[in-house]
Structure 1
Amino acid sequence: MTDLYLNVALDTPLDTCFDYRWPGHGEPPQIGQLVLVPFARREVVGVIVDVRTRTEVPPDKLKDALDVRAQLPPLTTEWLDLCRFAADYYQRPIGEVMVPGIPKNLRVQKTVSLDRALKKLAKTAFPHDPAPADAPVLNAAQLEAAFAIGNADGFSPTLLYGVTGSGKTEVYLQAAAQVLANAQRTQTEAQVLILVPEINLTPQLENNVRARFPGVPVATLHSGLAEGERLSHWLAGHLGHARIILGTRLAILASLPRLKLVIIDEEHDPSYKQQEGLRYSARDLAVWRARQLKIPIVLGSATPSLETWHHAQSGRYRKLELRERASPDAALPRIRLIDMERDKPAQGLTSTLVSALKLRLERGEQSLLFLNRRGYAPVLACDACGWIGNCTRCTAFMVLHKPENRMRCHHCSLEQRIPKSCPTCGNVDLQPLGRGTQRVEEGLQQVFPQARVMRIDADSTRLKGSAQAAFERVHQGEVDILIGTQMVAKGHDFRNLTLVGVLNPDTALFSHDYRASERLFAQMMQVAGRAGRAGRKEGGNASEVLIQTRYPQHPLFGAVMAHDYDRFAGELLEERQQAGVPPFMYQALLRAEARELQTALDFLQQAADCLLHPGITINDPIPMTMTRVANVDRAQLLIESPSRPALQMFLKTWMAALRAMKTRAKWSLEVDPVDI
């Protein structure tokens, strides 16, 4: 019998795969199977990426593979190619792409969890009835969009550009139903993948999907699942049982052998970009995967990213538009600006906003106050000596969390008790500066003691299931005034909400980040879209959005008031083109961190000087805006090129040179960075 050698991808920091000898017992292994192998002093699970009859590794260096997970069909060639592309494009080891995307219970030595999960799936009945149940009647624009998407042939990237409340979800569901029905007619099998940007949006979507497709098996994939649940849902996708798969960004790396349609909801959302380890964009990988499989993909948003908008304007993507809200009597909310220089706020609320809240309480309608800053106050200060509560480990303030009697750093999680007096001068009259959601909640309870006020942010929803329970209370009408961060700004369909108040949006107007205005506009339009979705107009008063600002003349607010994304995006694209930034330039960011800032800067300077780079711009190393986090100093080096292929060629050669350098700095590379 010919000796076989397995080339196995492992989740290691090394940029190689490893060869193992197949001991010869059992069925011959296949590419794409999971295999248990010895590595260092451990036994780990990897993915077989090649099976060979020869190896260049000396025989005395080879180890035997221990066990192949033969219970599972191999991962497909298409899935392996997707992982190879991601590893190649984002300059990461192949194993770092493949292995973490596989459920943890498949990566342990014991196979009990796998056997149990497979038996459970085998006992589950999976009827295949793609006919939608109780589908609402779509308007003409929705019908056109659903038909175009559901009957698209081959790779067909589509921007579904629809105002908030225009019924994009209904288009997704009816297009998905069409794809499943077409597959049934041709006696083939199909899977539909729908991605949302955040975990807290999955329960509402899952409920809609299960109600619409009562006979179709659905799987959900996100990091909030228990390991047993994740294994069960991943297997349902990998084995082809699940016909509709819902998830967050990690679901794009799931094994889905019968994938026929991909939908990216709120495609503009920065949450689709992974910020640790493999820093991939789920949206971009989804487009590549659709092209690879020659299937349609839908990118849906009321405020598309400028990259996607540019592709649509240039004809690279098809654009389908939903210009009106889906409910016949639901108009877009009226947006008004409140000049805080004229209407001075008390408790963070202007008299205009207080009056509007009072009116909604009298009508029995709900209101939402949006403030993207959690905690009680951003900082605690002493008026006597100027002391400010800084984090001792970061270049950041300690955020005051009054209900917990704590000061907390939102960057390194350092916590301290609130001091009873100034640590510098002993003054007992310490003052909170600024407002977070906790302080606004306190102020509201004083102004409206009879109102049912609820706060939804990362602090109030730490426990598993608490966010879903909180949103359910809002939907059931048990809340009069909702206060929240970006968690409440998108995707939620609050049927009785007619007023949105936006607090303190001004800081983003003067950010050094060139993406700040794009994000602020999207945020304003998304949160404004929570109002008036059911078309309530009692007494002739439409829903409204009140924005408190000290800069009412700023052109961004003018575009928001007019609901005019087209003009705003066009002007912003012109600015980007003149400035030479994405989407007209391609970027990579090399970050370094060390105990001393100079160590990081020295490494980055050495990196900048180590390779000739015609056609590539390497900027000077600089400290990051948040220079110190958890007692580690951080710096960055920006690399730019007008050509994506030229940048990729440079990065491949450059990364080899960087790995050969000796440095005490820890470094990482991000391709297509979203935060600079």
Structure 2
Amino acid sequence: IIGTRSAVFVPLPRLAMIVVDEEHDPSFKQQNGWHYSARDLAIQRARLENIPIVLGSATPSLESLCNAQKGRYRHLQLRQRATSADLPVMTIVPLRRENLQGGISTTLLTACKETLEAGNQVLLFLNRRGYAPAVLCHDCGHVVQCPRCSAPMTWHRRQERLRCHHCGHESRWPQACPACHSTALITAGQGTEQLEEVLRQRFPQTPIWRIDRDALHDRDALATAVADIRQNRAAILVGTQMLAKGHHFPAVTLVGIINTDQGLFSADFRAPERLLQTVVQVAGRAGREERPGQVLLQTHLPEHPLLQSLSRGDYRPPAEALLNERQAAGLPPFAALTLLRAEAHQRHRVDTFLSAACQCVPPALVEISGPLPSLMERRAGFERAELWIQAPNRTQMQKALNLWLPQLGGLSSARHVRWTLDVDPLLIT
């Protein structure tokens, strides 16, 4: 049986082994409705059926690395790539005082030119769809926001539409700034659409493919694009997370990470881990055949310890450094974390419910923070906030949840909000 996360529930009378490929991938966690982790359920099923389970990944989650360090897991490491090719060389490209063209440095442009002249392919990674992630007023600085979310609207130039990537709301380019009525509106930042435009101007004779959800609307379109890429030699691939893993492009010898700093300043404590995993996975597309590969990491923070460690090409040292930071901060996997999220059209209803929920928590078992506004305080017209519940271990957390959960549903304020419990949350949104 080969399947996605729902495959973990398939009844098999003689199940002998389970393999979870790319075990670090957040998509194994169901984010809507019932919040379950297919990876963790697979581990539990293997334990109950007394069969082996393999968690495969070139970039294991920090939880799995921690379990390996404690001897709960056996850690088997592959010492070479599947094709026996050398690992690509990673180089940090400082962007300070650089004259960028669509977010691309002179160093990266020169490397692209040399790679294409050699008959090889270039992959440029930017995890932002659209033309620009924000539209702002050049006079007063007002940023055009989604009316239903606390997030800026993304400009999609080809469709000539502003679009919210969180709720799907769309609108036209505003005639004037809603704050000061100036007509001096400009875009800020780069998306894959703008990156493609700049590259077509610089390399007009070179085939360029943009691989993202806007350019490719279904799996068939992606499969067709991948087949076309493999049939061409010199070409440029521009893409988002869709290009990060699972594809084999034999002619790609240069990978450029356009905005490496994107994951360094998030309020989500897992963001540096995801950045590390993404960069290593994208870098793995370079030099997979006989020709050597190189990876250029563009950054305004060339001295950042995570990037310095990452540039040496080994995933484990920076991952272990992140583990040490988590341990010092008392964060998972060295503690158990649960989020109680609530949303309603009126913020006072959310605060009333979460405040009442606080009073029900067994204080001797867990530590509570909140109510706290969510990172995105408003989404699709709903005001959002949350409680952070932390315990020293899962056993203590489970005891607290068993006592707490029956009381939550009985709260009168619960009838006026939508609420969910997310145990071991992967995304803080």
Q: TM-score range by the shorter chain?
A: over 0.9
Conserved 8 A contact 1:274-1:281: yes
Match of 2:48 among 292, 295, 315: 292
User: d(CA) in 2 for partners of 1:317 and 1:421?
Assistant: 59
Deviations 1:575-630 (A, max 9, x none): 21121111110111100101122211121111011243312112221110100011
Conserved 8 A contact 1:454-1:479: no
Match of 1:668 among 420, 423, 428: 420
Match of 1:265 among 10, 13, 21: 21
Match of 1:443 among 195, 198, 202: 198
- Corresponding residue for 2:382? 632
User: d(CA) in 2 for partners of 1:251 and 1:301?
Assistant: 19
Give the partner amino acid of 1:282: A
Conserved 8 A contact 1:594-1:633: yes
User: d(CA) in 1 for partners of 2:287 and 2:94?
Assistant: 24
Task: Say whether residues 1:373 and 2:128 are aligned partners.
Answer: yes
- 386-395 or 629-638, which moves further after superposition? 386-395
Give the partner amino acid of 1:557: L
**Structure 1 residue 472, shift from structure 2 partner:** 2.0
SS in 1 for 2:16: strand
Give the partner amino acid of 1:275: Q
User: d(CA) in 1 for partners of 2:39 and 2:371?
Assistant: 29
User: d(CA) in 2 for partners of 1:487 and 1:464?
Assistant: 11
SS in 2 for 1:534: coil
- Corresponding residue for 2:367? 617
User: d(CA) in 2 for partners of 1:592 and 1:478?
Assistant: 52
Conserved 8 A contact 2:18-2:54: yes
Task: Say whether residues 1:527 and 2:282 are aligned partners.
Answer: yes
User: d(CA) in 1 for partners of 2:372 and 2:183?
Assistant: 40
Deviations 1:635-669 (A, max 9, x none): 00011111312211221221110111112111111
Specify which structure has the bigger relative contact order, considering alpha-carbon pairs within 8 angstroms and separated by 6 or more residues: 2
Conserved 8 A contact 2:5-2:38: yes
User: d(CA) in 1 for partners of 2:172 and 2:302?
Assistant: 39
Give the partner amino acid of 1:500: V
Give the partner amino acid of 2:347: L
User: d(CA) in 2 for partners of 1:441 and 1:247?
Assistant: 34
Task: Say whether residues 1:360 and 2:115 are aligned partners.
Answer: yes
Match of 1:433 among 188, 194, 198: 188
TM-score, with length taken from structure 2: 0.96
Task: Say whether residues 1:279 and 2:35 are aligned partners.
Answer: yes
- Corresponding residue for 1:515? 270
Give the partner amino acid of 2:77: E
SS in 2 for 1:260: coil
- Corresponding residue for 2:170? 415
Conserved 8 A contact 1:287-1:297: yes
Conserved 8 A contact 2:362-2:403: no
Conserved 8 A contact 1:456-1:467: yes
Conserved 8 A contact 1:473-1:479: no
The RMSD of aligned alpha carbons is 1.5
Give the partner amino acid of 1:434: G
**Structure 1 residue 673, shift from structure 2 partner:** 0.8
User: d(CA) in 2 for partners of 1:281 and 1:409?
Assistant: 28
Conserved 8 A contact 1:456-1:483: yes
Match of 2:332 among 582, 587, 607: 582
Q: Superposition pairs for residues 35-184 of structure 1, below 5 Å? A: none
Deviations 1:326-383 (A, max 9, x none): 334x111111111111432112111111111111211211110000011110011121
Conserved 8 A contact 1:621-1:637: yes
User: d(CA) in 2 for partners of 1:643 and 1:556?
Assistant: 28
SS in 2 for 1:465: helix
Q: Superposition pairs for residues 164-313 of structure 1, below 5 Å? A: 245-313=1-69
Task: Say whether residues 1:453 and 2:205 are aligned partners.
Answer: no
**Structure 1 residue 247, shift from structure 2 partner:** 1.9
Deviations 1:147-197 (A, max 9, x none): xxxxxxxxxxxxxxxxxxxxxxxxxxxxxxxxxxxxxxxxxxxxxxxxxxx
User: d(CA) in 2 for partners of 1:501 and 1:437?
Assistant: 13
Deviations 1:266-307 (A, max 9, x none): 111111111001111111111111111111111111111011
SS in 1 for 2:303: coil
- Corresponding residue for 2:398? 648
- Could you list the runs of 5+ residues in structure 2 that have no partner in the other structure? none
Deviations 1:228-262 (A, max 9, x none): xxxxxxxxxxxxxxxxx222222222233332121
Give the partner amino acid of 1:460: A
Q: 1:442 to 1:596 in 2, by over 3 A?
A: same
Q: 1:507 to 1:646 in 2, by over 3 A?
A: same
Q: 1:341 to 1:644 in 2, by over 3 A?
A: same
User: d(CA) in 1 for partners of 2:56 and 2:218?
Assistant: 30
- Corresponding residue for 2:99? 344
Match of 1:596 among 318, 327, 346: 346
Q: 1:643 to 1:464 in 2, by over 3 A?
A: closer
Q: Superposition pairs for residues 391-406 of structure 1, below 5 Å? A: 391-406=146-161
- Corresponding residue for 1:314? 70
**Structure 1 residue 424, shift from structure 2 partner:** 4.7
**Structure 1 residue 384, shift from structure 2 partner:** 2.4
Deviations 1:60-81 (A, max 9, x none): xxxxxxxxxxxxxxxxxxxxxx
- Corresponding residue for 2:302? 552
User: d(CA) in 1 for partners of 2:31 and 2:230?
Assistant: 32
User: d(CA) in 1 for partners of 2:110 and 2:79?
Assistant: 31
**Structure 1 residue 423, shift from structure 2 partner:** 4.3
User: d(CA) in 2 for partners of 1:653 and 1:345?
Assistant: 56
- Corresponding residue for 1:228? none
- 470-479 or 489-498, which moves further after superposition? 470-479
Deviations 1:112-166 (A, max 9, x none): xxxxxxxxxxxxxxxxxxxxxxxxxxxxxxxxxxxxxxxxxxxxxxxxxxxxxxx
User: d(CA) in 1 for partners of 2:107 and 2:119?
Assistant: 19
Conserved 8 A contact 2:341-2:385: yes
User: d(CA) in 1 for partners of 2:254 and 2:194?
Assistant: 20
Conserved 8 A contact 2:362-2:404: no
User: d(CA) in 2 for partners of 1:277 and 1:450?
Assistant: 48
**Structure 1 residue 419, shift from structure 2 partner:** 2.6
Give the partner amino acid of 2:254: L
Paired positions, count: 426
SS in 2 for 1:461: coil
Q: 1:258 to 1:586 in 2, by over 3 A?
A: same
Give the partner amino acid of 2:168: S
- 458-467 or 415-424, which moves further after superposition? 415-424
Q: Which has the larger radius of gyration?
A: 1
Match of 1:506 among 246, 255, 261: 261
